[in-house]
Structure 1
Amino acid sequence: MGVRVPPLARIATLGLLLRYERMSLDISVEQIKSWKIALKIKSDATPVEREIERLYGEYAHKAEIPGFRKGKAPRDLVKARYGKSIESEAVENAIPSVYRQAIKEKDVNPITQAEIDEVNFEPSKELSFKATFEIVPEFEVKDYEGLSITNKDAKPSKDAIEKRIEALRQMNANLEPVKREARTGDLIVVDYRIMDEKKHPVPDGRVSNYS
């Protein structure tokens, strides 16, 4: 599973950011570069399991299962049909809160989105993952006083000007529908529906006019 998590300044604005009481985390720090680190983080299963419970309620309310009115299907049937999708979604939703607590505990300030990998969830046991991100490096500036620079006038070539004009034309072009097969460079507008691993429609998984 691959997940990207925004730096701390943005993570608090995420709609999916879940709030739990402070968790007990096991965190190890790997210094990859002076400007890049990785945190290996472990928590208990509580954040994911609470999110699973919330999602079961959400799916049960929206699920359309043959033989039952919408929202009236038993939990066992909802679990059989959507269980894996719910667990995967719950893990992804729970990671931001765990990540945020980890960077606070280690007093690090990410300046890039964290790349989340090595994700593993064991029900009733633990959630673990690795978060890799960049930080402001520590360095010493030496011998900068008295330096001089030469200011060069920008003289773009005719070819560069023409390329820029063409780029502006493309950016401001009007789109018109055409009756033919799609070609490279076309903008395509599609409708699609998300299915689970058993080819059943996922609640709220219909998307229209996506481009």
Structure 2
Amino acid sequence: MQVSIETTSGLERRMTVGIPAEQVETEVEKRLQQAAKTIRMNGFRKGKVPVKVVKQQYGAGVRQEVLGEVMSRSFYEAVQKEDVKPAGQPSIEPKEMAEGKDIEFVATFEVYPEVSLGDFAGFEITKLNAEVNDADVDTMVETLQKQQATYEEVDAAAADGNQVNIDYVGTKDGEEFAGGKAEGQNLVLGSNSMIPGFEDGIVGLKAGEEKTLALSFPEDYHAEELKGAAVEFNVKVNTVSEQKLPELNDEFFAKFGVEDGGEAKFREDVKANMERELKNAAKSKLKNQVMDALIGAHELDLPKALIAGEVEALRGQMMQQFGGQMPEGMDMTSLLPDEMFTEQAERRVSLGLIVGEIVKASDLKVDADRVRGMVEEMASTYQDPEEVVNYYYNNREMLASVESVVLEDQVVDHVLEAAKVTEQDSTYEEVIKPAQEAE
């Protein structure tokens, strides 16, 4: 086998591979002889069909099959010989495929970039410290009550926190627009589920009253024709209802799995869940800082094939969130174009390459004890933790996903050992707040 390789641009490589004709023709002849022993053809007994006849009937198809297999096998033998690491599948272009002649094909593919690790000592990381106090638990209990709240009609002006039942019609330049009309819609004032100014405009109205609201859609509104548009909404209030919180009693506690122990046990469970949430949020924010620092310290040329693969994975995840339903007449790419996921895909590919190099350079191995601890922690939230632990350890794919997370955590710890870490006192609310809101 003859191999030559050249760099066309960046990470792209063009490999020309030559295969002796004998290698292909010998394999074709072997398969035709095997076929002759089992094939059925009119005029011949089974196993007695001459190879020449079999070749006339099936030779072209068998040869095509052999060519595909030989080119695929030869490609991977060639990349091993040349010590290159393809990123994604190659594009293979046949050059010489004629029977009796040496085979030649050209494979175009991308390779993984070289990752030169930077100095982690220059990383400045802030570690947030916080505890769950009684006031935090009080706030959470009230939140849980609100989730189970009911509403009772009142003869009063609508106030923030009330639920109103409304009819409304939206117009733009005097004409109704799509999606701007509803009847009998319930709306909790202060929920910010409508465009800015809509809910504020209803405050003070009583059942039976109407009002016209002059508003503007946000500049980043999802519907192109309504971005920044000046509109009017004619709103009629049908009913005003006040929120009624459920009592803290055994019936309420049972909804959250607390059958015995009353309010003390309920608050204990709530606090335990909050502490678990706090721990995970603090860990996540610390990890994100490390990952951001790694991205900032390493500028990589990324293989397009890997980015495309991540885009597809992200698109698939979003489709699952939508229940996998596709509007009639649309394909997934039209509904969710690549541009929606490109930035996130590039980040994931970059981090994958950098983290992989750190694992290799530092010879990190998955810590089995940490894997066990993570599995047991996840299992602790289920009714039968031992059953969940056994499920993970009997499912290689599930366990591998945990091992991957643990190894990534070990990389974070490795970076933090060299980085400058500043500890900062914080609160439960600040730590669990998503990064975008915190900014």
5+ residue gaps, structure 1, are: 1-24, 150-156, 172-182, 186-211
Higher strand share: 1
Give the 3-state SS of the residue equivalent to 2:323 in structure 1: helix
2-side partners of 1:82 and 1:163: how far apart?
Answer: 44
1:95-145: CA deviation from partner (whole Å, max 9, x where unpaired) = 233223321221112131222112422333301111122211236577984
1:71–1:147 distance in 2 versus 1, CA, 3 Å: farther
Residue equivalent to 1:128: 104
Residue equivalent to 1:116: 92
1:60-112: CA deviation from partner (whole Å, max 9, x where unpaired) = 12322111123321111111111111211111121233223321221112131
Q: Give the paired residue count.
A: 140
Residue equivalent to 1:35: 11
1:63–1:148 distance in 2 versus 1, CA, 3 Å: same
Residue 63 of structure 2: which of 76, 82, 87 is its match?
Answer: 87
Residue 102 of structure 1: which of 78, 89, 93 is its match?
Answer: 78
2:23 pairs with 1:58: no
Identity rate, percent: 27
1:147–1:58 distance in 2 versus 1, CA, 3 Å: farther
Q: Which has the higher contact order (CA 8 A, sep 6+)?
A: 1
2-side partners of 1:119 and 1:62: how far apart?
Answer: 34
Tell me which stretches of 4 or more aligned residues in structure 1 moved more than 6 Å.
141-144
Deviation of 1:40 after TM superposition, in Å, equals 0.8
1-side partners of 2:52 and 2:96: how far apart?
Answer: 24
Higher helix share: 2
2-side partners of 1:69 and 1:76: how far apart?
Answer: 15
With normalisation by structure 2, the TM-score equals 0.28
2-side partners of 1:54 and 1:41: how far apart?
Answer: 23
1-side partners of 2:329 and 2:42: how far apart?
Answer: 41
1:135–1:68 distance in 2 versus 1, CA, 3 Å: same
2-side partners of 1:163 and 1:101: how far apart?
Answer: 38
2-side partners of 1:147 and 1:33: how far apart?
Answer: 36
With normalisation by structure 1, the TM-score equals 0.54
Deviation of 1:48 after TM superposition, in Å, equals 0.7
1:163–1:102 distance in 2 versus 1, CA, 3 Å: closer
2-side partners of 1:86 and 1:106: how far apart?
Answer: 30
One-letter amino acid of the structure 2 residue matched with residue 122 of structure 1: A
1-side partners of 2:53 and 2:104: how far apart?
Answer: 29
Residue equivalent to 1:190: none
One-letter amino acid of the structure 2 residue matched with residue 108 of structure 1: V
Q: In 2, are the aligned partners of 1:34 and 1:138 still within 8 Å (CA)?
A: no
Residue 68 of structure 1: which of 26, 29, 44 is its match?
Answer: 44
5+ residue gaps, structure 2, are: 127-192, 195-221, 223-317, 331-439
2-side partners of 1:83 and 1:40: how far apart?
Answer: 26
1:140–1:83 distance in 2 versus 1, CA, 3 Å: same
